[in-house]
Structure 1
Amino acid sequence: MKIGVFIDKLIFGLNILFGGALLLSSFVPYISIKKAPIVAFFSLGIPILVFVNLIFLLFWLLRRKKQGFLSLVVLLISYFSLSSFFMFRFSEKAFQESDLSVMTFNVRGFNKNQHIENPNLLEEITDLIKTENPDIICFQEFNFRNRDDFKAYTYRYLEYIKNKGKVTLAIYSKYPILKEGLVNFPDSPNNAAFADILYKKDTLRIYNLHLESLRIIPDKNALAKEQSAKLFKRVSQSFEKQQEQAGIIKAHRKTVAYKTIVAGDFNGTEYSNVYKTIKGDDLHDTFKEKGTGYGRTYNFKYYPVRIDFILADEAMEVVAHKNYDVKLSDHFPVMASFQW
């Protein structure tokens, strides 16, 4: 056998392997993590599988080989079944004052543990909020000591949680808050909050979510040092917790009779069953409606991960969406605007 033919067969074998993995990933959103925790790992790796299959497709096209049809078919199937993680739009629509704007931002305690070497970070965050001027803000990992730093917002909901390990959430609004509360996640440092906001004589329910953290340090050297078995077990347990929490939010939403926006840090991608459970059939993903590019929301080197979302009631028209490329936390802020 000629060496060239052998190499082609070897490459095509790898092509079949990665193509099959991407096809299997098409079923990931429909499989409960509790039944098969390993599927959640596929949800994190789908962008990589898409990229690898694109490389195979280009390789065979450049060589004018019919093997390229495999990756082409696989990519088309995955696109229509999973939707794209990249939005092919050339520009973002501008925000208008007449529309309702909502921002979500995991601020990591406003850098209270000095993870970022920037003594002016709090001032830069407040300047960003002042400039972008959202009507409603959902903060995750809020620092209770900074509760009075956003004076432009007449209404707010946050509670001082005595449990030291529990994450603090905050909702700030320029419109009256009629009702508020916490949605507690059992046996977890994470939780959710909600606020019913009076807007144009209508009531809007805002959920602010912070789902179970995967507790992965976004550094390849740190990941390499950890034993794979321990990493798999820990992350699998976190995925199972997320699935339970998604079910809690889904059940809680069923008690609400008016329009809903769900925002926050999901600690998982749009390809997970957790995301599918929370989104259901009646919420829009604002990034998919009006976003551009990768829409990354988490600062993971060399890998554009989108784990922060704004999901809006289908009765609300998504007018604009923006992902901010500002390094003020390990997350990036996201904002969207609406009409109805």
Structure 2
Amino acid sequence: MKAVKLIILLIHLGILGLLFGVLLNAYIPPKVFPWFNILSLGFPVLISVYALLTVFWIFLWKKRTFVFMFFGLFFFSATQRWVNFNTTKETANLKIITFNVKGGKFGKEEIENYINSKNPDLVLMQEDGNLDYQFSDLKKAKENPLGSLYSKYEIVGYKEIFEGMYTEDFNAFADYTDLKIKDKTYRIVNVYLQPFKFEKSMVKLNGNGNEDERKVKNIIKRLIPTFKTHQEQIEMIKKYIDDSPYPVILTGDLNAVPNSYEYYHLGKNLQDAFVKAGKGSATSFHDYKYPLRLDYIFTSESIKPVSYRVDRSVELSDHYPVVATFKISN
């Protein structure tokens, strides 16, 4: 029994070390050491096993329980980015939907009906397929096949951040639109970072040792260069966020999970609307049977998140839409 306890203790300590490795994404970029970013993909599993092993020590009434509980506090904020239980009673005056619609392949009319039923003030799409959607009371701003914005408000500025950079290997999108909302200007940033271009068959392991090993190696070969590309794309986007003379709302599909380098650095100096006002799970990509939060809304501190919901009532894409409300000053 002592040997079993020792093995479990070593496993617990190992998981603790890996969890701290995830937090290092805030400081170490993928071009220096990409493996911490790969660890971020496993955070839901790591923290779940860590919690179960802590409960195991509680039942055995071991003093080490308190040590593991103490270190577990370091991962509270990291966990809150995946699962949250906020309730707010503020009155909102701005509703935003961000939605990767996968080129409208699941039905353009169905997407239009869904968006119109929600009566949003702003709709930001990724992978919109350059389709001309018709939304009630919303005007379309400039668009790209990888992103578009529909709004009730006056456009006073616009820039496509990756303009002229698109190639067969560069499939990302980012732009900003300055909008006059209630006599005040806001910068709305829409982002679709470089995709990994995985298919289900490429990531599904089937128990065949050699084939599964080959798949894992191929996955890593795609992950690492894409993470490095994300780092370059974030540097370009951040310039227009940091230099903005207006409060910022950043939305989109980051093709990255919470606690990743992308999350820490693109959302730096902004607040995660889910952390502030979300309830339940933030998982937004449902094509794989694994919790993946890829879609986000970040805002400047002056914009107060009131509610944030991943709408699982519809499957109009491989992503669920994110519906959030905010309180902005008049």
Indicate the TM-score class for this superposition, using the shorter chain for normalisation: 0.7 to 0.9
- The answer as to whether partners of 2:82 and 2:282 remain within 8 angstroms in 1 is yes
- The answer as to whether partners of 1:19 and 1:70 remain within 8 angstroms in 2 is no
Counterpart CA distance in 2 for 1:300 and 1:277 is: 26
Question: Any residues of structure 2 matched to 1:135-214 within 5 Å, and which?
Answer: 135-144=121-130, 146-159=131-144, 167-184=145-162, 186=165, 188-214=170-196
Structure 2 residue identity aligned to 1:147:
D
Shift of 1:219: 6.3
- The answer as to whether partners of 1:211 and 1:265 remain within 8 angstroms in 2 is yes
Structure 2 residue identity aligned to 1:107:
V
Shift of 1:255: 3.4
Question: Any residues of structure 2 matched to 1:1-340 within 5 Å, and which?
Answer: 4-79=1-76, 82=78, 84-89=80-85, 96=92, 99-111=93-105, 121-144=107-130, 146-159=131-144, 167-184=145-162, 186=165, 188-218=170-200, 222=204, 225=212, 226-281=214-269, 283-325=270-312, 326-338=314-326, 339-340=328-329
RMSD: 2.3
Counterpart CA distance in 1 for 2:113 and 2:89 is: 22
Instruction: Please state whether the residue corresponding to 1:104 is helix, strand or coil.
Output: strand
Distance 1:142 1:88, change over 3 A: closer
Shift of 1:43: 1.4
Q: Which one is further off, 239-248 or 18-27?
A: 18-27
Shift of 1:334: 0.8
Deviation string, structure 1 residues 250-292 (Cα, Å, up to 9, x no partner):
11223321111110000001211222221122x1110001001
Deviation string, structure 1 residues 286-322 (Cα, Å, up to 9, x no partner):
0001001221111154422211111111111212212
Counterpart CA distance in 2 for 1:49 and 1:84 is: 14
Q: Give the percent of matched residue pairs that are identical in Structure 1 and Structure 2.
A: 27
Q: TM-score, normalised by structure 2?
A: 0.88
Instruction: Please state whether the residue corresponding to 1:9 is helix, strand or coil.
Output: helix
Counterpart CA distance in 1 for 2:81 and 2:39 is: 14
Distance 1:307 1:86, change over 3 A: closer
Deviation string, structure 1 residues 165-200 (Cα, Å, up to 9, x no partner):
xx5211000111122231117451111122111111
Instruction: Please state whether the residue corresponding to 2:146 is helix, strand or coil.
Output: coil
Deviation string, structure 1 residues 203-244 (Cα, Å, up to 9, x no partner):
111111000112233568635655332321211000001111
- The answer as to whether partners of 2:104 and 2:317 remain within 8 angstroms in 1 is yes
- The answer as to whether partners of 2:202 and 2:215 remain within 8 angstroms in 1 is no
Deviation string, structure 1 residues 57-94 (Cα, Å, up to 9, x no partner):
111212323343343233112225x3523444275769
Instruction: Please state whether the residue corresponding to 2:63 is helix, strand or coil.
Output: coil
Counterpart CA distance in 2 for 1:310 and 1:251 is: 18
Shift of 1:247: 0.7
Deviation string, structure 1 residues 23-58 (Cα, Å, up to 9, x no partner):
222222221111111111011111211101011011
Gaps of 5+ in 1: 160-166
Instruction: Please state whether the residue corresponding to 1:36 is helix, strand or coil.
Output: coil
Shift of 1:123: 3.0
Counterpart CA distance in 2 for 1:305 and 1:322 is: 15
Counterpart CA distance in 1 for 2:58 and 2:132 is: 57
